[in-house]
Chains A and B, each alone.
Chain A
């Protein structure tokens, strides 16, 4: 019986090795939908400093041609903090200052540094998905753990911009940078 077991293990191992090669990154639509839903939820847990001018919209800016942007479009009928959501697809880095929340997609990681420095003094919630986004000056960065979406929060950056992140959200974060 022992010999059979060894043989069987060897066969399984061989089958494993011939499995295939090469990894290609592909993102499912489910991931974009989930991230869009997270973004909507994040906004409910962040307090912005009071701004002049009443009854304006809550502006979500999207940088990059990402499926997440399209998913965010479907939020147009929802509200955040009693304000109707407006989703703007941004072309220029300067436009980010006119938003309440900016999402920087993977495809625009080239302008990431420029965006973050442009927003250094503005009360804009920055959300990104490039590795180390929250370390490099962003506020909330998505990370993937296993099959699930997780996030890292840079509380220091948030506070510098006058944004208050609710402790409930901090508790759910994979990591909080203070």
Chain B
């Protein structure tokens, strides 16, 4: 059944593939390795049970074990392990994360979900990474799909989808205490306890806190506390229920600039941004049989952020319904309906404001998809489309066609054509941002335009997966994306306002683009105690705009690395020790004047007892500090510093 808990693949894979696994007989399963068998789900009523190796999309899964052994203390850092993702740390609490180009702090073409809850902010349709967190030990896996996923997930799943999926309460029974401290991670601690409440009902509660040091040049200390719960209830075989929620509060220090209509006009300040929010989600899954199921999910999410020049409160209420059933023998139909209510309250300043300051929006969506088995257990075609209506750009259609052919037991080739859109947000339609070009004389102001349409992409993908032996697997994906209506900024005629002159800029959409590239990944079990993962990513971007006074063409082209390489080694040592390392090379960012860099992370862990882990982690060990997403010659740009920390995790 399309379980929402893995809305990630469940639905994508679910949809992209045929339900072959469900009908596989034992003698087919014997062709799979134990590792593959271990990845399969028993309640595999859905296509989600299909091994990843058969999916018709560029999919990568970070397992809980990968997370544990990475030493990453937060979700964005963990994403560095994913082939094809571009993760640049801007400051202690900010990241520019992108897939297949268009990187920026406001990277906005990536959809991120935590347990089925969309976490992009409607204000700019991007992700505030500093408010997305949970107890890392409770994350079951992170599924990353590069390329469009809009047919299932809808608008904004343009260049990729990241699904963060936590373990069920049943899987996190018992207690866990962790604590750590280091040079950059000054202190972090977490607690979790899971128990049962009557037959078939499991719960967990958790709390965590961290205090992160500022980066070099930064004034960007970051502190945050968070707590939450999850209850899973299994009733009769057909039904299961989940109720979960989180609450968090914290503060990022920041260095800002404020513009004012009167002297002193431009003021630099050291301040902080308070960040808080919460969410509660309820989900019901119903399974009729192996090919027939349905799911209903409802959630509410609120986010507050406040700093000297801008305050915002955002609210989202979302309903989602999905159903899957067979038609004839070879069709498997999935359809769904969704409704989201969005509201925000902003309070701006002369520097930054939204007009109007409050807004409420409705988003209606529906999708229909058919997975057709062309050749039993060998070839599958998935056709589908999403149709949605939003208050900014009206109706949007996001169709896709995906074909997967397993031409040998361990070789699959897949291809797809899909369209996705990034709908405009408050940012494009209602923004008003101002800065002095010359104090008290000339003011530059950027205005949103409510006529801006959606950015769209048509993506062509081709991929190949092969597992030559039980110990070795390769995954290659290539893509060619054609973008249209990409955001640009155009200039208007200067006009007088009060005692000064305003040079107006308007948010516009007259850029086209072509991007292409490929991503290669391999996993190699070199020995029973040694695993080596490697990845190489190549990206080429070309944008063209007829009216581009700010040179956005070049800026966008040069804000993502052309080449990225990573090598990761996981080695089990005698005496219950582990030694893990990751070496990564990231190419220069031409338009930002950022140098290429090579960095190394190391982790040494020891398990003195089964329920205890002591580890020492070193991150970014090769330099005292380095810039990842700013000009190397900017003396005020925060730089990522070498970090060493020690951690103890105890379970009971």
In the complex, per-residue mask of B1-43: 1 if CB is within 8 Å of any chain A CB, else 0? 0000000000000000000011011110110111101111111
Query: Which residues of the other chain, A, contact B29 by a CB distance below 8 angstroms?
Result: 33-34, 36-37, 40
Query: By the criterion CB–CB under 8 Å, are A20 and B282 in contact?
Result: no
List of B residues within 8 angstroms of A1 by Cβ: 302, 313, 315
Is A37 a contact partner of B42 (Cβ separation < 8 A)? no
- Closest-by-CB residue of B relative to A21 is B235
Report A9-23 residues with CB < 8 Å from chain B CB.
Answer: 9, 12-13, 15-16, 19-23
Q: Which of B39, B199, B300 has the most CB of A within 10 A?
A: B300
A149 adjacent to B243 (CB under 8 Å):
no
Kindly identify, within residues 195 to 253 of chain B, every residue whose CB is under 8 Å from any CB belonging to chain A.
199-200, 231, 233-237, 239, 241, 243, 245
B37 and A146 contact, CB distance less than 8 A = no
Contact partners of B302 in chain A: CB under 8 A: 1, 5
Which residues of A34-52 are within 8 A (CB) of B? 34, 36-38, 40-41, 45
Q: Is the CB of A150 within 8 A of B239?
A: no
Q: Tell me, rounded to whole Å, the shortest Cβ–Cβ distance linking A19 to chain B.
A: 4
Q: How many residues of A contact B (CB 8 A)?
A: 46
Q: Which secondary structure dominates chain B's binding surface?
A: mixed
Of B113-121, B165-173, B475-483, which binds chain A? B165-173
- Among B22, B200, B237, B241, contact of A30 (Cβ-Cβ < 8 Å): B22
Q: By the criterion CB–CB under 8 Å, are A5 and B37 in contact?
A: no
**B528, A171: Cβ atoms closer than 8 Å:** yes
A169 within 8 Å of B (CB atoms): yes
Known: A1-B315, A41-B34, A146-B170. A22 touches B236 (CB 8 A): yes
Separation of A37 and B34 alpha carbons in the complex (Å): 8
A10: nearest chain-B partner, CB-CB: B280
Residues of A within 8 A of B (CB): 1, 5, 8-9, 12-13, 15-16, 19-24, 26, 28-34, 36-38, 40-41, 45, 71-72, 74-75, 77-78, 144-150, 167-169, 171-172
Residues in chain B within 8 A of chain A (CB atoms): 21-22, 24-27, 29-30, 32-35, 37-45, 49, 140, 167-168, 170-171, 199-200, 231, 233-237, 239, 241, 243, 245, 278, 280-282, 284, 290, 298, 300, 302, 313, 315, 317, 528-529, 572
- 29 A-B residue pairs with Cβ-Cβ distance under 8 Å, sorted by A, are A5-B302, A9-B280, A12-B280, A19-B235, A20-B239, A22-B235, A23-B200, A24-B236, A28-B290, A30-B45, A30-B49, A30-B290, A33-B25, A33-B26, A36-B26, A37-B29, A40-B29, A41-B33, A72-B26, A74-B26, A75-B26, A77-B27, A78-B30, A146-B168, A147-B44, A148-B38, A171-B529, A172-B35, A172-B38
